[in-house]
């Protein structure tokens, strides 16, 4: 919860040729929130203390120390004193209740997730969404205040930076490995669910679809930006402009309603500023992972669930572009995705499994 600054001025009154009198009022600064941690994920509304000031995050961030510069993600809430100074618990033992599906949780609730014995704190009210895949609603929580980024699995992305560079030797410099791993911290279930083979298969599947959509990570935006992706039937309209919602990012996010939904999920105003997807690498990667975890397209199952539940790579094609590529509609495009997936799975040392086409 954010802490508002309460300052009482300290006044001094000098009495000529006699003594100096200091007004008895005492500075009453706010108590410092838990100290900022470079490894913790902060979402909009979360607070941290840094250099004796409290700061509040405006949207998702990780690894950017609080300041009035940078990306502008931090808002200075004023000076503070005392508090935990970074403990957030001082090594105490967690004793929070187990998460239960279907239970209504309010912002600030902390639960233990039985599947991995890790703790999560609600960052938005929700009706019991799974903490490991709905990090718009939940963030990893540590009793020692450090938070986390791994929750839900090993916390280690199974594709090294060297392998990433080998997969995309001619990629646009915008698509950084650091941006990808920062985005993954917001989706702790990604490539960390199930067996080692399943984790690597999901990583390969995501990167294969991304590679197909962007010409091997060459294109940040679609080439032809003249299309009208503004659905005026939506009550919120297109505040950034009629032609502002063209395809961007690793899965080429387009249409105002998709920018609205992705932004709401991520805690970033993408409806008002869709350009952020082509300006911030971690936000761009997050939009791709957002669709990976939430979009079902023509398939009825999300790409994440398809890969961890054994539906196979073909189901990810159906979820992403099934209406145009599946059921014999465009076999060449579909086969290109399959070829990339097989190539990346081989580089990671795993079998691609079955059900590769749609």
Q: Which residues are catalytic?
A: 213
**CA angle at 122 for the pair 193 and 36, rounded to the nearest 5°:** 90
Going 221 to 286 to 304 to 185, the CA torsion angle's sign is positive
User: Alpha helices of the chain — where are they, by DSSP H?
Assistant: 161-167, 177-184, 196-214, 256-266, 281-294, 303-308, 313-325, 331-347
Q: What are phi and psi of 173, to 5 degrees?
A: -60, -15
Tell me how far CA of residue 182 lies from CA of 33, 178, 185, 193, in angstroms: 23, 6, 5, 18
110, β-bridge pairs: 121
Distance CA 274, CA 210 (A): 19
Structure tokens at 261: 């939904």
């Amino acid at each position: 919860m954010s802490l508002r600054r309460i300052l009482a001025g300290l006044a001094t009154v000098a009495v000529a040729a006699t003594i100096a009198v200091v007004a008895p009022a005492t500075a009453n600064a706010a108590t410092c929130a838990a100290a900022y941690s470079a490894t913790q994920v902060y979402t909009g509304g979360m607070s941290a203390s840094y250099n004796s000031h409290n700061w509040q995050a405006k949207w998702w961030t990780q690894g950017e120390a609080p300041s009035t510069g940078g990306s502008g993600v931090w808002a200075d809430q004023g000076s503070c004193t005392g508090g935990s100074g970074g403990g957030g618990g001082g090594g105490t033992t967690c004793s929070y209740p187990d998460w239960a599906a279907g239970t209504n949780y309010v912002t600030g609730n902390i639960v233990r997730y039985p599947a991995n014995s890790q703790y999560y704190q609600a960052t938005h009210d929700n009706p019991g969404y799974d903490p490991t895949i709905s990090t718009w609603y939940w963030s990893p929580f540590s009793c020692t205040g450090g938070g986390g980024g791994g929750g839900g699995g090993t916390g280690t992305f199974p594709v090294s930076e060297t392998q990433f560079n080998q997969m995309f030797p001619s990629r646009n410099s915008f698509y950084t490995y650091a941006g990808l791993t920062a985005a993954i911290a917001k989706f702790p279930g990604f490539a960390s669910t199930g067996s080692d083979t399943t984790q690597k298969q999901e990583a390969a599947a995501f990167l294969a679809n991304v590679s197909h959509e962007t010409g091997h990570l060459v294109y940040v935006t679609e080439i032809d930006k003249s299309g009208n992706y503004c659905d005026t039937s939506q009550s919120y309209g297109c505040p950034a402009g009629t032609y502002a919602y063209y395809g961007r990012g690793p899965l080429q996010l387009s249409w105002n309603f998709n920018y609205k939904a992705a932004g709401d999920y991520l805690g970033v105003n993408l409806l008002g500023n869709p350009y952020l997807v082509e300006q911030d690498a971690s936000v761009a990667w997050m939009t791709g992972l957002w669709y990976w975890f939430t979009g079902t397209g023509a398939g009825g199952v999300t790409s994440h669930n398809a890969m961890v539940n054994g539906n196979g790579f073909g189901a990810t094609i159906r979820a992403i572009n099934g209406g145009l590529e599946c059921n014999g509609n465009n076999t060449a495009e579909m086969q290109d995705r399959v070829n990339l997936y097989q190539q990346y799975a081989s580089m990671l040392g795993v079998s691609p499994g079955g059900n590769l086409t749609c």
